[in-house]
Every structure is written in C-alpha cells, then in structure tokens.
Amino acid sequence: MALIVQKYGGTSVGSLERIQAVADRVIRTRRTGHDVVVVVSAMSGETDRLLDLARGLSGRPIERELDVLLSTGEQVTIALLSIALQEKGQDAVSFTGAQVRILTDSAFNKARILDIDGAQVRKALTEGKVVVVAGFQGIDGEGNITTLGRGGSDTTAVAMAAALKADECSIYTDVDGVYTADPRIVPEASRLDRISYEEMLEMASLGSKVLQIRSVEFAGKYHVPLRVLSSFKDGPGTLITDEDEAMEQALIAGIAHNRDEAKLTIVGVPDRPGIAHSILGPIADANIEVDMIVQNVGADKTTDLTFTVHRNDYDKAHDILQRTAKEMGAKGVNGDKRIVKLSIIGVGMRSHAGIASRMFKALANEGINIQMISTSEIKISVVVDEKYLELGVRALHSAFGLDKGTGKNG
C-alpha cells in the first residue's frame, strides 16, 4: 500500500460539481488500496476576492490580519471536500494548517515552512480516513496564522509528502502537465514527459507559475517524486525528478516569461569603488529584492547602473534611487515598468556552445530589441519591451525546435 499526496488547485475545486469530481478521483485512488492525503486550494478567484475586501479598507492592510483573512478560503474547500467524500461513502476528515501543526516562520504573507508534526494526519490515516489538508497556510511559534505566498498550496502538498514520506505527490491542475512554454501563450507548446528538479526550479523562478518555486525546492531537497497532472482528463502528466542522461540530450527544456518585473537606471554616476553598494544598499535595506543588474562605464568615466525589481516595488525603489542620485551627484534616474523577461532553460546548455547567439538571432529576426541580458549555467534571460512578450516567446520556442511535431517532444 502506497501513500499518495494529491493537491487540487483553485480551478479544480472552483464549484460544487468540480469538488464532487475531485471526491470521485480521490475515491478511485483510495479504492486501489492507497492511503490518500489531499491538499486543496481555495476556490478559484476566492483569494483575490478576499484581498480586494481588505484593500477596500486599507491601502496597506496589516500583514498578520491579511493572513487570518486569506486562510479562510482554504478552510472552506477542506470542509466542502470532506463533506462530498463522506456523502459518497468515503470516511474523511479535514484539517487546517494549524491543526496539522504546519509550523512556519513569522513572515506573514510569505512564510516558510519549518516543520510539520503530522501525528494527527497519520492517526486519521490508520483509521482508514482520507485526510484533507488546507493548502497555503501554517502557524508560527506564537500560534499566529501564516500564509505561504501566492500559489503556496503546491508547497504545502510537497512538504506534507516529504514529512509523511509519501510515495508520490500529484499536483492536479487545469493543464495536463508542464509544457515547453505557457500553453496560454504558445499554442504549439508540448507537454514534457519528464523534467529535472533543477530545470523546473529555474522555470518556476523565471516565471512559469505552474508550480510555486518553494514546492520545487522542497521536492528536490527531499527527493519527493512530483507529478503535474490534469484534474479534468486522465493522462501521464509530467514527472519532475532527478536529472537523467536522456534529459541531458535535450538542449532546451522550455521557455519561461515573467511580466512582474520593472527596470530602473541611475545615470551618470561617478565611477569609483563602492558605488554599486551605495546604490543597491538602500534598496536592500528597504527589503526590495533586486533581480538582474547591469553596469557599464562610459568614456566620460561615469557609469550607468540598471537593475530590475518586482513591479510592486517599483515606486518605492524609484523614490529611494532618486534620493541616492541626489546624494551621489548622479545625472538622473530613468525607469520602465513596461518590460518583460524572457528566458530559455535547459541542462543541455552546459555541454553546448552557441545557444546564446541562437537566442539573440531569433529575437533579432523579429526586430525585438534586447535591453538586458543575464546568464547562468542552465539559463539565459533577456529583458525586452512588454509588447514583444507573445512574439518573443513564440520566436524562441520555434527557434529551439520546441514547436509540436518538430522537436524532441513532438
């Protein structure tokens, strides 16, 4: 008998009919003789609706109270799914994050899981019950309710699977696996049979929101076999697993895009040691995460420094940078919110040359200007004008032979 953790996202539990369909699927798994722990998200749109309510009262709602509010979405679905299961004759019990004792740090709205007790869950499983756990939420050392950041139910599922030493963690969603690019943007994208933890982590970090980044980190660290599947149709899905030889032959696993970033430039800074620190120090002190950084020295011995931040942090970063520019005697500050980051990801890059130039050529052929570039061992990212998002992703997808029927996945 195996222990399976299944996670169902917002669309999959978006109505009573869908909750009943989830119950049927859970019962099918249970009837094959496996123990099942189910992690659910809030019904689709619910977390946004709750956020809007809070924002209707305050421009910056208190983070602790926001978590008390947002966690209610998942409390609704655990109860409804348990009721549906029992109605269909399957004994089930629901638990909130606090009841399972999913212990997190106290970083409200983006808490990290520290430990899972799980004794309650194990006890209920030995009693023959299906256990339904609320995703996205935990409790800190003081007993405050915390949430794990948007998309956090994925992380709850993988963390539960790791804590319970489950045989597999299945993420049921509205696509039937991980694709070579977001299928909403590239209709020619194809489903990957397998992808390594490392590549999936890059894809998630670079904007593929099919899995929350932390969930992939957890799965890689604890070697949890992770599968992304459709809750609407049967199929093999995509297995996320340790790298194997076959994967290394694939040059590029996928294309990711991220429209959440904005870029800022401080122009004409005197070029001397310590300037990067003087510019980026105050940004870091304000808890703003910086992603890409580019610096170049001009003929006049002054330098321009450009970096990207999350779009939500743009205004705050712009204010800070303007103060810094004044203090340093810089020429000024420019910014642009209308940018996107396009990335190609693949472990095959380690052993192949010429990938970057192929990427740049594909973009040049479409007349897309590259504003910034950054590379690491298994990815290359560029920043371009947001109006080129679709065109750029599709051009890269086809340039690397990923279009359905033409590439290794076709």
**Which residues are near ligand ASP by CB under 6 A?**
9-10, 41-42, 47, 73, 135-136, 150-153
Return the residue of 55, 184, 272, 361 that touches ligand ADP, per CB under 6 A: 184
Q: Which is nearer to ligand ASP, 9 or 220 (CB)?
A: 9
135 binds, among Mg ion, ligand ADP, ligand ASP, none (CB under 5 to 8 A by kind): ligand ASP
What does the alpha-carbon distance between residue 243 and residue 151 come to, in Å, rounded to a whole number? 25
Q: Where are the beta strands (DSSP E) in 271-405?
A: 290-297, 302-310, 332-336, 339-345, 372-376, 379-385
DSSP string, 307-346: EEEEGGGHHHHHHHHHHHHHHHT-SEEEEES-EEEEEEE-
**Site residues for Mg ion, window 1-60 (CB under 5 A)?**
9
Identify which of residues 118 and 207 has a Cβ nearer to ligand ADP in the complex. Answer: 207
Please give the C-alpha separations between residue 355 and each of 90, 201, 392, in angstroms, as whole numbers.
53, 20, 16
Give yes or no for residue 151 binding Mg ion (CB under 5 A): yes
d(CA 361, CA 352): 17
**Given the complex with ligand ADP, which of 108 and 179 has the nearer CB atom?**
179
Min. distance of Cβ 92 from Mg ion in angstroms?
23
Strand residue runs (E) in 135-237: 137-139, 145-147, 168-173, 194-196, 226-230
Task: Please give the Cα distance from 319 to 115 (Å, whole number).
Answer: 39
Should residue 400 be labelled a site residue for ligand ADP when binding is judged by CB under 6 A?
A: no
Q: Which is nearer to ligand ADP, 12 or 137 (CB)?
A: 12
CA 178/CA 195 separation, integer angstroms: 8
The nearer residue to ligand ASP, 41 or 208, going by C-beta atoms, is 41
| Separation between Cα atoms, residue 121 and residue 93, nearest integer Å | 9
HSE toward the beta carbon, residue 91, CA cutoff 13 A: 7
Does the protein bind ligand ADP through residue 339 (CB under 6 A)? no
Residue 173 contacts ligand ADP per CB under 6 A = yes
Which lies closer to ligand ADP via its Cβ, residue 140 or residue 176? 176
Write down the least CB distance from residue 173 to ligand ADP, Å: 3
**Residue 208 binding result from ligand ADP, ligand ASP, Mg ion, none, given CB thresholds of 5 to 8 Å by partner type:** ligand ADP
Angle in degrees, CA 25, 160, 217, rounded to 5 = 110
If residue 48 lies in a helix (H) or strand (E), which one and from where to where? helix 46-55
With CB under 5 to 8 Å by kind, the binding choice for 178 among ligand ADP, Mg ion, ligand ASP, none is ligand ADP
Q: Nearest Cα to 222, choosing from 273, 124, 155, 292?
A: 155
CB 348 → ligand ASP: shortest distance, Å?
31
Q: How far is the CB of 154 from Mg ion (least distance, A)?
A: 6
- Residue 207 CB, shortest distance to ligand ADP, in Å, is 8
CB 279 within 8 A of CB 295: no
Sheet of 113-116: strand order equals 113-116, 102-104, 137-139, 145-147
Asked if 335 interacts with Mg ion (CB under 5 A), we say no
Segment interacting with ligand ADP (CB under 6 A) among 88-96, 207-215, 299-307, 359-367? 207-215
| CA count, 13 A, side-chain hemisphere, 256 | 24
Q: Do 241 and 230 form a contact (C-beta atoms < 8 A)?
A: no
Nearest approach, Cβ of residue 152 and ligand ASP (Å): 5
Nearer to Mg ion, 94 or 208 (CB): 208
Contact footprint for Mg ion (CB under 5 A)? 9, 151
Binding site for ligand ADP (CB under 6 A): 9-12, 41, 151, 173-175, 178-179, 181-184, 208-210, 254
